[in-house]
Structure 1
């Protein structure tokens, strides 16, 4: 099994530093003063938004009374967290907030995705992905579109999750992206992919009326180790939101409700087949 991605390591260190500080009854302001940094910087460290410097980590561990093997293990983990994942080679076309998501995606044991208008990135064909990217990035050079498409295709082969649960609004199936031929190939890919036991695809039909997430799409990432709690990822045009803690249960309940509102898997695949034939 490959080692955890740098993104996941950084998340674990952040959670451990927050746990240690709270166990000692220290405030975020207190820790920030010891480091000589702003409170906002300390908050970003504990939320895994930035990597902690090794010197700062040693200062915090001393403040929290952590010594010996435990301290050495955390320092080594911090060193490893500075390694670069394969996706960093595409930093010229990937925004930093999306790099974080890709790093987490690589480690997820299960990903639950709801999409309102698109086939999810992990199931897109290259031609469908190009058509989506051209629409999202009008005026972008062809080289950027190709590199972004390359990342999307690489994610489909690099990730090692055990399960992908997808619920689509019927709009994602009916909207013709890239022309009839491209869309037909995309729908056929969905059907073929769903033959694998690790993939489940369901469709919420138009006839179901209003459903629990008409406001937008989201993904829930679950990880194999209990030390890594689930993360909800919500993307916008200019950034993303990572939801953690108790709020993830709201999305989990919503996803279960979407699954209940959707057609069963077999009926969903039949709807997709019929849509492909109609192209």
Structure 2
């Protein structure tokens, strides 16, 4: 039986089944009984699993779990695709979902020879993955809630050629025109009160289908996922404070247009 079929049986996202199988999450008694019914587990084996489930729920929850590339690509893609709400903040860079093709190429050109060698295919894999993410999550029919906060310095960055940023700024304006539900706000360079100064984060919400997950990426080593209630609440408080501090959608568009004309 596939993980997707199991997830549908309990009304959760597939990543929840992955977490159960990896031992990074526990199942409620109701969900566990539903899964046992789904797997046709009966008798002594069923009783043993239910008892193990009760013991697992009494253990202290893990604070975080981590993933390493390339498996992190698959886990992150699964979580992101399943999310009904995405909140994202990056400092000094345009978030990946909003990057134009030329901007992506310029970013990878900066990294080549440092984070991977010129003959390594990792750069191309990242490019394909990023473009696929954009097509999947920012389609006309997509109705999930997505909020971005972009710092002003990211809009004024030197990406090697003026044409790169002109394309990127036009790309942002085009998405704002095409996707009326897309929420983009710009944080002015002179804004004070940013609790995420020097940091970046993404918060993925799943409604009633699963608990909220916070995500922190890394250039090298593990990427970190937070699903503890206190950690997620802190991340949400920080993001919403930043959301209120940033310019409105209309004001942000006006600033992007102004920078594009400079």
| Normalised TM-score (structure 2) | 0.72
Match of 1:211 in 2: 194
1:175–1:241 CA distance, 2 compared to 1 (3 A)? same
Q: Which runs of 4 or more aligned residues in structure 1 lie more than 6 Å from their structure 2 counterparts after TM superposition? A: 2-5
Distance (Å, rounded) in 2 between the aligned partners of 1:182 and 1:59: 65
Structure 2 residue matching 1:197: 3-state secondary structure = coil
Do structure 1's residue 241 and structure 2's residue 221 form an aligned pair? no
1:262–1:142 CA distance, 2 compared to 1 (3 A)? same
Match of 1:65 among 42, 50, 55: 50
Structure 2 residue matching 1:145: 3-state secondary structure = helix
Structure 2 residue matching 1:65: 3-state secondary structure = helix
Aligned 8 A contact 2:20 2:27 in 1: no
Bigger relative CO (Cα 8 Å, ≥ 6 apart): 2
Distance (Å, rounded) in 2 between the aligned partners of 1:243 and 1:148: 23
Distance (Å, rounded) in 2 between the aligned partners of 1:208 and 1:63: 57
Match of 1:277 in 2: 261
Over the residues paired in the alignment, what is the CA RMSD in angstroms? 3.0
Do structure 1's residue 7 and structure 2's residue 15 form an aligned pair? yes
Match of 1:188 in 2: 170
Match of 1:261 among 231, 245, 253: 245
Q: Structure 2: any 5+ residue segments left out of the alignment?
A: 8-12, 33-38, 52-68
Distance (Å, rounded) in 2 between the aligned partners of 1:175 and 1:215: 16
Match of 1:202 in 2: 185
Distance (Å, rounded) in 2 between the aligned partners of 1:97 and 1:227: 21
TM alignment of 1:127-146, pairs within 5 A: 127-138=102-113, 139-141=117-119, 143-146=121-124
The answer to which of 213-222 and 125-134 deviates more is 125-134
Distance (Å, rounded) in 2 between the aligned partners of 1:60 and 1:218: 42
Aligned 8 A contact 1:235 1:241 in 2: yes
* Paired positions, count: 215
Match of 1:100 in 2: 75
Match of 1:84 in 2: none
Structure 2 residue matching 1:111: 3-state secondary structure = strand
TM alignment of 1:112-191, pairs within 5 A: 112-138=87-113, 139-141=117-119, 143-159=121-137, 162-191=144-173
Structure 2 residue matching 1:99: 3-state secondary structure = helix
Distance (Å, rounded) in 2 between the aligned partners of 1:233 and 1:103: 13
Match of 1:220 in 2: 203
1:249–1:16 CA distance, 2 compared to 1 (3 A)? closer
